[in-house]
Amino acid sequence: MTGWLVIAGLGPGGDSLVTPEVTAALAGATDVVGYIPYVARVADRPGLTKHASDNRVEIDRSRHALEMAAEGRKVVVVSSGDPGVFAMAAAVFEALEAGPEAWRDIDIRVLPGITAMLAAAAKAGAPLGHDFCAINLSDNLKPWDLIERRLRLAVEADFAMAFYNPRSKSRPEGFARALAVLQEACGDARPVIFARAVSTPQEDIRTVPLPEATPEMADMRTMVIVGSSQTRVIDRPLGPIVYTPRSVRV
């Protein structure tokens, strides 16, 4: 079998955050598959066919990519950020596991990318410099009860928290509930970072104390990071730096 399948992370948006490994894979591909705005980031060239599809069809898209690779094509599935973090890699493996036995012989590789939480954290300082967790707040993939339980346990563990998909179009009320749970469970004024469209021309980073955070501060392009009880803010003329120290003193 001469075809292959690469699942590649394009990073949060800026071209200077795409790894050379991903650039090389795209240069060798015959087909690029992905969500419309991510496929649009790949330059056209002779010999490259682009297959752009809408959101919410991740499994169909994955099957199509696997079929083409099984037929001998060189296929790159593009993801925003890192493909392994709330993105296309798990979808492709779900399709692979449920698909024909022959697909298990496909040469398949995942190429990491700069995931949104790390790009957002870098812009704010180092809020994830100590133990932390990452939670997808979109509740079309799991029940709200499970999200709320995870939020409460994460507060109890004193993790900093990074939230992906805080406000989905279909269920915008989830983030208001999450914020209310956090404001009650944390009971302090730890910093919350709203990082919108990081590394694009629309980038906007805003830090507020948890009691002042409101649901409207996030939209579908926003990454939200909530500090732990140890997270600190350094005030500066150039704008605040938010960081979580490496050590917890006893």
Q: Between residue 22 and residue 61, which ones bind its own copies under the rule CB under 8 A? A: 24, 58
| Contact (Cβ atoms closer than 8 angstroms) between residue 80 and residue 12 | yes
Assess 63 for contact with its own copies (CB under 8 A).
no
Distance CA 199, CA 221 (A): 12
Residue in 43, 54, 201, 238 binding its own copies, rule: CB under 8 A:
238
Residue in 104, 189, 200, 229 binding its own copies, rule: CB under 8 A:
104
Q: Residue count at the site for its own copies (CB under 8 A)?
A: 78
Distance CA 202, CA 26 (A): 26
Assess 13 for contact with its own copies (CB under 8 A).
no
CB contact burial 28-48 (16+ within 10 A = b; e otherwise): ebbbbbbbeebbebbeeeeeb
Q: Between residue 118 and residue 147, which ones bind its own copies under the rule CB under 8 A? A: 118-119, 121-123, 125-136, 141-143, 146
Strands 191-196 and 222-226: antiparallel
| DSSP state at residue 105 | G
Region of 76 (left: φ > 0; alpha: ψ -120 to 50; beta: rest) is: beta
| Contact (Cβ atoms closer than 8 angstroms) between residue 196 and residue 174 | no
Pick the piece of the chain touching its own copies (CB under 8 A) from 20-28, 38-46, 178-186, 188-196. Answer: 20-28
Residue with tokens 């022959």: 102
Assess 185 for contact with its own copies (CB under 8 A).
no
Assess 94 for contact with its own copies (CB under 8 A).
yes
Assess 244 for contact with its own copies (CB under 8 A).
yes
Pick the piece of the chain touching its own copies (CB under 8 A) from 65-73, 110-118, 173-181, 188-196. Answer: 110-118
Assess 215 for contact with its own copies (CB under 8 A).
no
Pick the piece of the chain touching its own copies (CB under 8 A) from 67-75, 181-189, 200-208, 233-241. Answer: 233-241
